Structure 1
Amino acid sequence: MSEPRITYIGGPTALIELHGLRFLTDPTFDPAGEEYTTGTSTLRKLHGPTLSFDDIAPIDYVLLSHDQHFDNLDRAGREALSKAKTVLTTQAGAERLGGNAIGLAPWATIEVKTPDGQPLLITATPARHGPVGSEARSGPVIGFALRPAGDEGAVYFSGDTVWYEGVAEVARWLHVTTAVLNMGAARVKTAGPAPLTMTAADGLELARTMPDAIIVPLHFDGWAHFSESRHAIQQTFKAAGLEHRLRWVEASSTR
């Protein structure tokens, strides 16, 4: 399997280039300083994107873990969806978005073609956006696994999830060689003290259950509700002797 090339844009947003196809994760392109109020919660964006949508176009597939939270789909990100070939998201999200959106249930798989005509499988993976019982509040979320047909190596994008049995199931069923994780231990006061995305400890547990995977953290900066920084992730992996498994990608670099 050829190595994916990953470009970091900010928050949960990255460009993944694999076998000639261009995938965009959770699009957020608003400038810094924006605020988003939903009910009694307000999210504040601290950093703008390192690249605009036009800088990275064209996009074949948007991998949208969910559409209901502004830190995964902000205003400019929502406007950009129609410029992509296809948006893959939850079934509920696809109903709300319409247009070029396709809804997938966890473990549903679609087959697409690479530019040279080879099949590539895209599988929706389970995700839970917070502790047990949070599903009714946070709404449905999915992750994604990308892999060539007949090739066991998969690129996994977690979406917004914590470590739980559904993610462990991904490790059991798929041979993941690159894991792109929404980390940062997001916490929102009105949702309680529990993290809503992966902590550094969650990322470490995932790394241990996916022993062949390079770990690419996303979603750990750029928003005020993240509670664990890049430094916290680095220190946790270093203490476990697994710092060499981390890959930090920047706007100007790919792997």
Structure 2
Amino acid sequence: MIADEIKIKYIGGPTALFEAGGLKLLTDPTFDPKGSAYPTNIYTLHKLADPAVKADKLPHVDLVLLSHDHHFDNLDIAGRGFLSDAGQVITTPAGAERLGSNSIGLNNWQTIDIPTKDNRILSITGTPCRHGPVGGDRGPVTGFVLNYKGDTTGGVYVTGDTVWYEGVEEVSKRFDIQIVVAFLGAAVVKAVGPAHLTMTAAEAVEMARHFKNATIIPLHFEGWEHFTESRAEIEAEFRKAGLLNRLRWAH
């Protein structure tokens, strides 16, 4: 099963390099330097940390798992430039339409099969996300479940930018997941409103209770000004719940 063999290297923010079946996969590419700012008509996002690895130092990436293309903290300027060098980009249908070229859009629960380099098939299923409170969703986002075809055990789930809600709970009902790569940080963009737009640590604990057999690996909890919960808050919440042994940090 894929959870037993996948390797995960943390690069920063929502960006991590996965290795499985001889393939290299990258989540939400963000490679701009510390101090970068991204103004919009409503707000400005500020990046606070450099990536651990620059884009030009990465090996060739076969697949980019892009939760969404329309927010700079999930796809910054250097990250967008990186996409054309990847084999394929798997994202939302709306994102694939905007990006064109080597992009493929997945609807919720839709699966695409990718041949691996060791003669297996990697199945990637799109999963639902809600990027904010009810009525305050900030555009289409997808998560991903990774399995080898024919093996329904030990899946890897990448949440994408979402709060805890029934769509994420449904993933726990449909799949046997042993690793959840959870986008956390309780992001709050004050100019947009006071609500958190990604999972809080408390929500991550609730998620862990539903994914009963899964190790939780946080991503997207640092490196940007709008995150309100860091590693310390996440660890404290899991400790309080008696679930600290379920938490792992990618390096």
TM-score normalised according to structure 1 size: 0.95
Counterpart residue type for residue 55 of structure 1 = K
The match for 1:10 among 9, 12, 30 is: 12
2:242 counterpart of 1:245: no
Q: Which residue of 1 aligns with 2:49?
A: 47
| CA distance in 2: counterparts of 1:3 and 1:202, whole angstroms | 27
Q: Cα distance, 1:17 vs. partner?
A: 1.0
Greater mean deviation of Cα atoms: 148-157 or 22-31 = 148-157
2:115 counterpart of 1:125: no
Q: Which residue of 2 aligns with 1:140?
A: 140
Q: Cα distance, 1:41 vs. partner?
A: 0.7
| CA distance in 1: counterparts of 2:211 and 2:118, whole angstroms | 30
Q: Which residue of 2 aligns with 1:207?
A: 208
Count of aligned pairs:
248
| CA distance in 1: counterparts of 2:213 and 2:124, whole angstroms | 20
Counterpart residue type for residue 154 of structure 1 = G
Q: Percent identity?
A: 57
What does 1:96-245 align with in structure 2 at a 5 Å threshold?
A: 96-135=98-137, 138-151=138-151, 152-245=153-246
TM-score normalised according to structure 2 size: 0.97
2:33 counterpart of 1:31: yes
Unpaired runs of 5+ residues, structure 1, are 251-255
Counterpart residue type for residue 69 of structure 1 = H
Q: Cα distance, 1:75 vs. partner?
A: 0.1
Q: Which residue of 2 aligns with 1:253?
A: none
* 1:204-252: CA deviation from partner (whole Å, max 9, x where unpaired): 11111011111000111100000001000000000111001111112xx
Unpaired runs of 5+ residues, structure 2, are none
What does 1:27-106 align with in structure 2 at a 5 Å threshold?
A: 27-106=29-108
Counterpart residue type for residue 9 of structure 1 = I
| CA distance in 2: counterparts of 1:156 and 1:85, whole angstroms | 21
* Displacement over 3 Å in runs of 4+: none
| CA distance in 2: counterparts of 1:37 and 1:105, whole angstroms | 30
Report the 3-state secondary structure (helix = DSSP H, G, I; strand = E; otherwise coil) of the residue aligned with 1:110.
strand
